[in-house]
Amino acid sequence: MKKRTLFGAVAMGLAASVALVGCASGTGGDGGNAGGSGDKGTITVGVFNGWPEGEAASYLWQQVLQDKGYTVKLEYADAGPVFLGLSKGDYDVAFDGWLPTTHATYFEKYGDDLVDVGAWNEDAKLTLAVNADAPIDSIDQLAANADKFDNRIIGIEPGAGLTEAMNKKVIPEYGLDKMDFITSSTPSMLAELKKALDADDNIVVTLWRPHWAYDAYDLKDLKDPKGALGAAESIHTVTRTGFADDFADVNTWFQGFKMDSDLLFSLENVMFREKHQQSEYPEIVKKWMSENQDYVDSLTS
């Protein structure tokens, strides 16, 4: 299997414009907000680089908890380091655990030191997506039409569960080992996607639902007759062990947390579809909260 990495101006010049999981959003730092001035304790959230659904949930809960008197810090890392950090107590919570498939290996590895608080969205699914007018409709047609896609599959972070699924299942089962599987970051993937669509070129990317790109672009998912990408999954809140003892009220709120995909898309869209800096996210989220006050109130009722 040939692999290479995207670098340079495409990744850096366009990353900001795609904000993401996805997968995308910004990376690094504390989410543009060093936390509130609350005195009920500090909660550190591990946020996956490039996964907008978890990032949106993280910023939402940051504002909700700060309004309740907690200090909330957001720290970005890839999925693997976040799960490791949770297991060691470096992070208190993460909102982007995909089960039963995508992040199963992390739960197997660190399960004794993680707490699955519960699913907050039930519509998660890994996908291979193409431009809507692409000449194929199924992954089993891709190998024979590789030249129509410049012999490339554009992926996301090398350590992502989606990348692992591609390497271990999709590529070998569909005979895609002669195509270049390019991994780098979700912003780079989204930049390549936008570039190809603007040029009316065919492109195939690793993606997932829910993701704002499906709202922003005219895409279709390739059918997966072998089920190599797995069935629909749920997105879970995951905490370190002992969190429920240290933050009983917050843990109860997390247990009741639910967010359907339409509501999630509306938050993702205002955060990520336009060019915003991370430092702008808190105010964007606050405005969204004011427009969805009944839902926000229900999170802590």
Query: Beta partners for 118?
Result: 237
Q: Do domains 2-6+125-221 and 19-123+232-280 have the same CATH topology?
A: yes
Query: Phi and psi of 260, rounded to 5°?
Result: -75, 165
Please tell me the CATH code under which domain 2-6+125-221 is placed: 3.40.190.100
| Helical pair 52-67 and 261-272, crossing angle rounded to 10 deg | 90
Helical ranges in the chain per DSSP H:
9-15, 52-67, 79-88, 104-110, 161-165, 171-173, 186-198, 213-216, 243-246, 248-256, 261-272, 281-291, 293-298
Q: Convert the pLDDT of each residue in 228-239 to its tens digit.
A: 998 889 999 999
State how far the alpha carbon of 171 is from the alpha carbons of 49, 190, 262, in Å: 24, 21, 32
Kindly give the parts of the chain with pLDDT less than 50. Answer: 1-36
Domain residue ranges in the chain = 2-6+125-221, 19-123+232-280
Mean pLDDT of the chain: 88
Fill in the DSSP letter of residue 74.
E
To which H or E segment does residue 220 belong?
Answer: strand 219-221
Q: Could you tell me what percentage of the chain is helix, strand and coil, using 3-state DSSP and rounding each to the nearest 5?
A: 45, 20, 35
Q: Convert the pLDDT of each residue in 121-168 to its tens digit.
A: 998 999 999 999 999 999 999 999 999 999 999 999 998 889 999 999
Please tell me the CATH code under which domain 19-123+232-280 is placed: 3.40.190.10
- Is the full-model pTM beyond 0.85? no
Q: The dihedral of CA 179, 184, 190, 192: what is its sign?
A: negative
Fill in the DSSP letter of residue 21.
-
Q: Convert the pLDDT of each residue in 52-65 to its tens digit.
A: 999 999 999 999 99
